[in-house]
Amino acid sequence: MANEKQAYTLSDRGTYLVYSGKIKLKILCEGDPDLINPYGIIAVNPARFPHVKYVYAMAYIGWVTSREGQKIIREFGKKKFGRPLFIPLAIR
């Protein structure tokens, strides 16, 4: 809609890069700490929800935050868009 109206909009980098070949909008501002949009991963509390597979959730969290998982996140999108879609925060 912003592209059709040639309006301003807020977008995360991944969405912008995926649509950048289909729209004519340009980035006007980036890198401001107030615009950081972090993703998080949290296991559900098994004391409140005993049916959850907490051990599997913790294993997944361990993998996502591992060097291997963070490398995959850091590299995702680079080949197609020339820059990553996400910036990993667990290991820099």
The DSSP line for 4-31 is HHT------HHHHHHHTTT---------
| Amino acid 35: pLDDT | 87
What's the chain's average pLDDT? Answer: 92
- Cβ neighbourhood burial of 73 (10 Å; 0-12, 13-18, 19+): buried
Taking residues 6-27, report their average pLDDT.
91
Please write the tens of the pLDDT for every residue from 49-90. 999 999 999 999 999 999 999 999 999 999 999 989 888 988
Q: What's the token pair of residue 39?
A: 């993703």
What's the number of CA atoms in the CB half-sphere (13 Å) around residue 47? 0
Distance CA 86, CA 83 (A): 9
pTM above 0.85?
Answer: no
| Amino acid 92: pLDDT | 57
